[in-house]
Amino acid sequence: MIDWILSKVWIAIVVVILILSVMGFYVFVYNSLSTNSFVQITTEIGVTVSKVSTMSSNYTENIVYSSSQQGLVLPLTIVKYSLPFNAQRYPYTINITNESVILEWDNNYALYYFVLHIHPWNLTEYLSNTFYVSNYTLYKLDMEHPYFKVISGTIIVIKQVELSVSGNLEYETFVYPANNSAS
C-alpha cells in the first residue's frame, strides 16, 4: 500500500516538474523576444538620430510613443513574463550622449553609436543667437550637458540646424527632450 502511494507521489512530482519546465521554457522564449524588442528600440533610435545628423538641410524629427503623433513611434513599455505566466509592462530608460544612445530595461543595457557627434541639449534654450556660434561655445555646452536621461514616454526632438560655427557654415544635430524633463 505504501509503495502504491509513493509511486503516485513520484508521478505527481514528475508531472509538476514537467509542467514547470515547459512553462519556464515559454517564459524564457517570451523574455528573449522582449529583449530582442529592447535591442530593436535602441537600434531604431540610433539609426534615426544618425540619419538626421547626416542630412544637409534643416530638419526636425520627433521620437514619440503614440501613432497619433508624427515621428518615430516607439512602444511605451516592454513586457516581462514570469511564472505562472504573469505579464507585466515596464518602462525603459533612454540615455543620449554626444556619441551614443544607451537604453536600460530590467538590468539590461543596449548601446548604439551614432554616425556623427551630436549635441544632447536644446540650442534655443542655451544660445540667444541661433545662427552664429563659436567652436568653443559648442564645446563648452557639450561639456556642461554631456547627456540627458529620460523615461520612455518622454518625447525626444532631433533637430538638424545650419549654423555658422566660427565662420564656417555647418549642420549641427541637437537632441533633447521636448518637455525639458532631462535629469
Q: Which three three-digit cell numbers place residue 121?
A: 541639449
* Predicted pLDDT at 180: 47
69-89 tens-digit pLDDT: 889 999 999 888 776 767 788
| pLDDT digits 0-9 by tens, 24-81 | 787 777 767 677 888 999 999 999 999 999 999 999 999 999 888 889 999 999 888 7
Nearest to 138 by CA among 93, 98, 80, 84: 98
Q: What is the pLDDT of residue 57?
A: 92
> Binning pLDDT at 50, 70 and 90, where does residue 181 land?
very low
Query: Residues of 65-95 as b/e, b for ≥16 C-beta within 10 angstroms?
Result: beeeeebbebeeebebbeeeeeeeeebbebb
Average pLDDT over the chain, rounded to an integer: 88
pLDDT (0 to 100) of residue 23: 74
CA–CA separation, 61 vs 52, rounded Å? Answer: 8
Least confident of 46-50, 58-62, 159-163, 179-183: 179-183
Burial of 168 (0-12, 13-18, 19+ CB in 10 A): exposed
Read off the pLDDT of residues 88-106 as tens digits, 9 standing for 90 and up: 888 999 999 999 999 998 8
Rounded CA separation 16/50 (Å):
51
Would you say 123 and 58 are in contact if contact means Cβ atoms under 8 Å apart?
no
Q: Which pLDDT does position 31 carry in this prediction?
A: 66
Asked if 60 contacts 51 with a C-beta cutoff of 8 angstroms, the reply is no
Greater pLDDT, 92 or 22: 92
Note the pTM of the prediction, 2 decimals: 0.80
Residue 153: CA count within 13 A, CB half-sphere = 8
